[in-house]
Amino acid sequence: MPAKTTLPEIFREFSPAEMTPEPTGQKPVLKKLPGIKAVLFDVYGTLMQSGVGDISLAEEKAGEGREKLIREAISAAGFTLLDRKTPIAELFHDTIRAEQDIRREQGVDFPEVDILGVWEDLIGQLEAYELIRGRATKASLRNVAVHYEARVNAAAPMPGVTETLEGILDKSLPLGIVSNAQFFTPLLFEAFLEGAPMDVGFEDMLCIWSYEHTVAKPSTKLFELAAERLQAYGGIEPEQVLYIGNDMRNDVMPAAKLGFKTALFAGDARSLRLRKDDADCKEVEPDLVITELEQLLECV
C-alpha cells in the first residue's frame, strides 16, 4: 500500500518549483533600532511567499477557476460530488461571510472564522441536498481544507528566511508570530522549513494565530494579546519589540498603535500592501522598510 500523503506534502506538491518574489521598486529604509528584545513576524507575504498575497480567505473571487479548484480539492480529499451545476465555491464564500456576520453581531470588529467549521458546514449543506458522498471526519475536513488552500494559494518560503531566523536567534532574541491564519498555516513551516514553528526557533507562547481567537488583523486585539504574553515571557515592553509585516493596514498600523517598533516588508509585489488611499494609514510610518529579510540583521 502506498504511503499516505501528509498535509505538508500537499503544500509542497502545489508549490511552483521556482517561485520567486516580484520586484516592488521600493527602496529600503534601514537603521539600527536599539533596545529590541523580541522580534515578531507576519506569515503570508512576509515569511512565506503567497500566490494571492495573503491567506486565501481574503480572496473571495469565486468564478470558474475557483469552482474547478474547489471541486478538485473535494474529490482529492475522498469525497464524491454528485452534481456538476451547484456553485460550490460561491457556497463556500457565502458560508465564510455568514460566520463572519455572526461574529460581527457579537461585537467582534474584524471577525475570523475557523476554516474547519466552514468546511463542516459546507459539506453538511451538500449532504443535506444529496449532492455529495463521503464521511466528514476531522481528518477528511483537514485534508480538503489543505487541498483547497494549496491549489488556490501557492506558497513557498521567502528568500533568506532561514538565515534571517537563525541570525535573530544568534542575537538571543525570542521569535514570535502574529498572523491572520488557519490551522494549516503552521504546516507551511513543516512543508518548507522542515519543522514546525517551534522547531525552527519560534516561542510557542509568542505565536498568535487569528483563527484561535475569532478575530483578525487589523484589529489591535491580537497585538494586545502579544503584548500581554511578551510581558509574561520576560517583562518585554511594546517599545522593545520589532514587528515585521507586508501590509500597512493589517500589520504596521495596529502594531504601531500598541507601541511596537515596525518594519514594512516590501520584498514581493504580490503581497506588498501600501494602502496609500486608506485614511487610517495616512499618518502611519514604519520604522524600517526592508526589501530583503536579511536586512533585519543590520537593524537589531
pLDDT in tens, 68-106: 999 999 999 999 999 999 999 999 999 999 999 999 999
What's the angle, vertex CA 32, arms to CA 282 and CA 34, rounded to 5?
A: 100
| 123 grid coordinates | 459539506
Cα 248 from Cα 265, distance rounded (Å): 10
Residue 62 has pLDDT above 70, yes or no: no
The rounded distance, in Å, linking the Cα atoms of 121 and 127 is: 10
Residue with grid cell 501528509, as numbered in its chain: 6
For 261, the 3-state DSSP assignment is: strand
- pLDDT more than 90, % of the chain: 92
Q: Residue 1's pLDDT is what?
A: 39
Helices (H) and strands (E) in the chain — how many of each? 9, 10
Is 2's pLDDT higher than 60?
Answer: no
The pLDDT-based confidence of 116 (bands split at 50, 70, 90) is: very high
For 42-52, write each residue's pLDDT tens digit. 999 999 999 99
Quickly state the pLDDT bin for 194 (edges 50, 70, 90).
Answer: confident
pLDDT band at residue 219 under the 50/70/90 scheme: very high
Q: Which amino acid is at 260?
A: F
* Structural contact between residues 273 and 249, judged by C-beta atoms closer than 8 angstroms: yes
Which residue, chain included where needed, has cell 518560503?
157
State the cell numbers at 116.
474547519
Q: How far is CA 101 from CA 62, 108, 118, 221, in A?
A: 19, 9, 13, 18
**Architecture of domain 7-50+155-298 in this structure:** 3-Layer(aba) Sandwich (3.40)
Cis peptide before 286 (omega within 30 of 0): no
